[in-house]
Chains A and B, each alone.
Chain A
Amino acid sequence: MLDQLGNGLLLGIIISVASVALSLLYGVTRIVNFAHGEIIALGAIMTLFFSSPVDYRVLFLDKYSPLGYNFALSCILAVIVCGLFGALLEICLFRPLRKGNVGNIAVLVVTIGLSIFIRHLYLLFATGKVQDFPLELQRRQTYLFFDMTPRNLNVLIAGIVVMLIFGFLLTYTRLGKAMRAVRDSEELSSVSGINSDNIILITWISSSMLAGLAGIFQAIINDVRWNMGFLILLLIFAGTVLGGIGTSFGAMVGGFLIGILVQVSVGLPFMEGHTEAKNAVALAIMILILLFRPQGIFGQKERIS
């Protein structure tokens, strides 16, 4: 069971970063974003596009050569592209919907349509094949009591650092305060001189950048697929719900817990030969949490109903 701990931590960091992003967006805008997974996939696909060798034509209908940039630079560029994409979604789609007083449930259904649409754009125009980043293979090493490659250890550390910085910004800066104000009441915050449109735009951008980063992590740890975001979306929901929707710290811990639970459950005796069912464990936990403690581990009750 413990040998799965390393894998659990790695799955945990992906879900954790993505859950923080989802939770932030839900907290401020009340949008349950089913298209979140597609922003995650965008991060990975753009990184692949920026970093693959120039003669490596597999992306975008095989028509355009990748750019062959340095890998770190590619990651930064991909995260920026994700941020821009989030801004585009907010300005072209969700802001008009908000101004038109379209209800929450209608917006939820719109995000489902959006998710299906973007996902199959990837399938058709970006990549129908499973691909890996152009990175050299590494051997697993043992750190304390878990095994992982040095690169994956760096991913783990980078993810935790990013989330801590993010949490700090959210808690202690004026911007973070403004975000929380908009979350509590858009009208009241507007009255107090906060430009809620700008705050929501910044929320979309930062949420999308974090999601893109989660996608890059997922691609480094596993691989790049057109439907990689959708495959992990329900686990991200589970992480968000477990920690408590709308709390960044909760989402972070919840994401890790879900990741570890999923991977460790592979080692349970009754799971022998049923590794495909490991996600079912996480989803069942999410349903139980919603039934018996809908505010999650760290959430506050009044934010739920």
Chain B
Amino acid sequence: MKISNKFLFAVFLTGFSIYLVFALNPEGASRILLNLLTFAGIYGLSAIGLNVHFGWTGLLNFGHASFMGVGAYVTLILMPHAAGREGEITSTGLPFIVALIIGILSAALFGLLLGLPAIRLRGDYLAIVTIAAAEIFRLLVRDLESITGGVYGIINYTENLQQYRPNFINNFSESLGFSPSQAWVCLVAWISILFTVLFLKRLNNSPWGRALRAVREDEDAVRAMGKNAVWLKLQSFMLGAGIAGLSGVLLAFNYGSLETTVFVPLLTFYVWAIMILGGVGTITGPIFGSIIFWVIISETDRLAFILFENANGQQLAGVRFLLVGLLIMALMIFRPSGLLGKKEELLLDVK
């Protein structure tokens, strides 16, 4: 396999940003690194799913947070948990793996549902529909307090995953001063990424993957070749949504409690920034994009403390999002193909 210069550069930049974490944080660097690698794994996985939508098929999906949300909520509700204002306990439930699979399938099903408009709508309209559908989902989850816990959220579910934590994680975390539960989530996230990437690589080279990319390039040509473009789009929507669902579940396990405020549109925009940074249409791009993105995010707190003395939480978050907005703009203007993407594979105009 030929390794391109772009790839080497991405590896170098990722390595350099991890080095920066160590250089900037003389103390506790490994703990910060674990935290950001966990987030990077989860968001990277989500961005890989988004890339199936936008990068491969050219579907302008701005409701990605809702796919993550469906996966997370369905999985958690099926397992033992506590929810709502009173912390009502549900002590019986399915085992983690079964609940996870149902959660991922539900996310894919929601993708199918949301994908139905994609049959009729042009790119920019689809963007509006998906972001609106994601908001509807969030408002409904917020309102259905008896099932989802509403604004009070869901708690006491982490044990469902943590009970499978192997012993070596405990020993390893103890020696490095990590939180063993986060180390386990981190490991699961990166194993998920590994399998997803292998799976997508296989798909990408299959006739199905080629047909998908052909839909992005020229839908009419796909039809002329006797392929069902609509069904291909829907399959793409389901696949990407399923991957997002998995990342949503992991996100819930990383947070330790699940609230509707997690799935605001800004989550989608984070994932978009990661996807563009890594390279639209690539498979491994979002991994590099995600790590670099989270290094930037986790080090912006310094910037906030330069701008404001005694910056409060609102100001820290504000500076982060300021940078995210700037990053999205700058990337889209100056380097829309990101680190690894190919410009000719980028869908930038409405079809």
Contact = CB atoms under 8 A, between A and B. Distances in A.
A290 B126 CA distance: 9
Given A106-B332, A113-B332, A123 B314 contact: yes
B223 to A, nearest CB: 16
A241 to B, nearest CB: 7
Contacts of A280: 135-136, 139-140
B325 A116 contact: yes
A277 B139 contact: yes
B232 interface: no
13 contacts: A102-B333, A102-B348, A104-B349, A104-B350, A105-B60, A110-B332, A116-B322, A120-B322, A120-B325, A123-B318, A124-B315, A280-B140, A291-B121
A237 B132 contact: yes
B276 interface: yes
Interface string B121-147: 111110111011101100110110000
A234 interface: yes
**Closest 10 A-B residue pairs measured CB to CB?**
A117-B325, A113-B328, A103-B348, A116-B325, A103-B349, A113-B329, A283-B132, A104-B350, A124-B318, A120-B321
B336 interface: yes
Interface string A112-133: 1111111111011000100000
A117 B329 CA distance: 9
A160 interface: no
B128 A32 contact: yes
B87 interface: no
B127 A291 contact: no
A280 B142 CA distance: 11
Interface string B336-351: 1000000000011110
Interface of B: 60, 62, 116-117, 120-125, 127-129, 131-133, 135-136, 139-140, 142-143, 266, 269, 272, 276, 307-308, 314-315, 318-319, 321-322, 324-330, 332-333, 336, 347-350
A32 B131 CA distance: 13
A174 interface: no
Contacts of B117: 287, 290-291
A67 to B, nearest CB: 25
A61 B313 CA distance: 16
Contacts of B62: 112
Size range of the chain A interface in the assembly? 35 or more
Contacts of A274: 143
Given A117-B329, A305-B122, 18 more contacts: A103-B347, A104-B124, A109-B272, A110-B329, A110-B332, A114-B329, A116-B322, A117-B321, A117-B325, A120-B322, A124-B307, A128-B315, A234-B128, A276-B142, A280-B136, A280-B140, A290-B128, A291-B121
Contact of A287 (B129, B143, B324, B332): B129
Contacts of B325: 113-120
Contact of A276 (B123, B143, B266, B307): B143
Given A123-B314, A276-B142, A234 B123 contact: no
A238 B315 CA distance: 32
B148 to A, nearest CB: 13
Nearest to A271: B143
A135 B222 CA distance: 61
A294 B125 contact: yes
- Interface of A, helix, strand, loop or mixed by DSSP: helix
Centre residue among A109, A128, A274 by max chain B CB count within 10 A: A109
B125 A109 contact: no
B184 to A, nearest CB: 33
A175 interface: no
Contacts of A152: none
A82 interface: no
Nearest to B307: A124
Nearest to A240: B128
Nearest to A115: B325
A61 B143 CA distance: 36
Interface string A278-305: 0110011011001100100000000011
A284 B132 CA distance: 8
A108 interface: yes
A17 to B, nearest CB: 19
B318 A120 contact: yes
A97 interface: yes
Contacts of A234: 128, 131-132, 135
A106 B348 contact: yes
B127 A32 contact: yes
Nearest to B121: A290
A99 to B, nearest CB: 12
B204 to A, nearest CB: 22
Nearest to A118: B325
Contacts of B127: 32, 108
A112 B272 contact: yes
Contacts of A105: 60, 123-124, 347-350
Interface string A248-289: 000000000000000000000000001011011001101100
A182 B239 CA distance: 41
A110 B333 contact: yes
A277 B333 contact: no
Contacts of A279: 135, 139
B274 to A, nearest CB: 13
